[in-house]
Amino acid sequence: MLPEFEYHRPASLEEAVRLLSELGPDAKVIAGGTDLVVKMRAGLVSPRHVVDLSRLTEIRFIRDEGDRLKIGAGTTLWEIENSREVARGVPVLREAVEEMASWHVKTTATIGGNLCNASPAADAAPPLMVHDATLVVVGPEGRREVPIGEFFTGPGQTVLGVGEILAEVVVPKMRRGQGAAFEKLTVREGALSIASAAALVEISGGRFVDARVALGAVAPTPIRALKVERALKGRPATREILRSASREAKADIKPITDVRGSREYREEMSVVLVRRALERAVERAGGAWA
């Protein structure tokens, strides 16, 4: 049984924002509903108003703008998985989406929903974090841009204020010399992550010119592994350095014990996943181990 609410289907993003500011904190946005409906049924949220964004074509697009890709927040995971632009420009996002849920869920689940739901285990987040994506938010005060690293504030918590909607995700595309990979550990196919990791590296002259690593399900929010990154940047791209840098992941994370895994296991697996993601990223960057 779902809580009783009023249903609204605004015809434009502008109307949606207006509606949300009028309705105040009792209103919730719905896109694919694959998180929201589950939470409503479990009694975790009971909005009085539900505002449906699933028909807003304005926020449902994938646009190639040269060095960056713009993805509308209302784009479904299925569309992302099948997008040639994403496969070429942000392959690590595609890789993550491929491993998420199932076809049946991805046909309605959106990328905006995955981010705004702000689960620590949101699988789309680590790839976007290593790409230094920017989130475009529209609200009663207009438009603002939020770096993805500042978007999540806690489990289920984001910087979005009342009346604000995530409109699009701007992702700098992979460049030549860069490589990226995503790793997800689950007990079973299609299940939620025990831990996940994304890595993006750039190698030049046998050195890590750039290295970005992000993890999911091992802290209150998806996080960047800054200590790992520091241990790589500027150093020779060797397996040994990669190995020892991966171990820094333990210092970057704050895992808990829950039904999916213990803190101890998550600590160990963070290192394994980071290492595996980095290794594959290096190979994809041209495979030039120093």
Angle at 271 between CA 267 and CA 276, to 5 degrees: 145
End-to-end CA distance of the chain: 59
Q: Running DSSP on this structure, what letter comes out for residue 59?
A: G
Q: Does 180 bind ligand FAD (CB under 6 A)?
A: no
Instruction: Tokens for 5, please give them.
Output: 């609410």
Stretch that binds another protein, among 119-127, 144-152, 229-237, 259-267 (CB under 8 A): 259-267
Nearest approach, Cβ of residue 193 and another protein (Å): 12
Instruction: Give the up-direction half-sphere exposure of residue 147: CA atoms within 13 A in the CB hemisphere.
Output: 8
Among 158, 162, 220, residue whose Cα is nearest residue 29: 162
Q: Is 159 in the site for ligand FAD (CB under 6 A)?
A: no
Are 163 and 139 a contacting pair, CB within 8 Å?
yes
Interactions with another protein, residue window 53-112 (CB under 8 A): 54, 78, 101-105, 107-108
Partner whose footprint covers residue 188, from ligand FAD, another protein, none (CB < 5 to 8 Å by kind): another protein
DSSP structure string for 7-48: EE--SSHHHHHHHHHHHGGGEEEESS-TTHHHHHHTTS---S
Q: Please report how close the Cβ of residue 120 comes to another protein at its closest, in angstroms.
A: 15
Pick one of 58, 123, 210, 229: the residue that binds ligand FAD (CB under 6 A).
123
Q: Is 13 in the site for another protein (CB under 8 A)?
A: no
Stretch that binds another protein, among 33-41, 85-93, 116-124, 145-153 (CB under 8 A): 33-41
What is the binding site for ligand FAD (CB under 6 A)?
28-36, 38, 53, 73, 77, 100-101, 105, 109-110, 112-114, 116-117, 121-123, 160, 165-166, 192
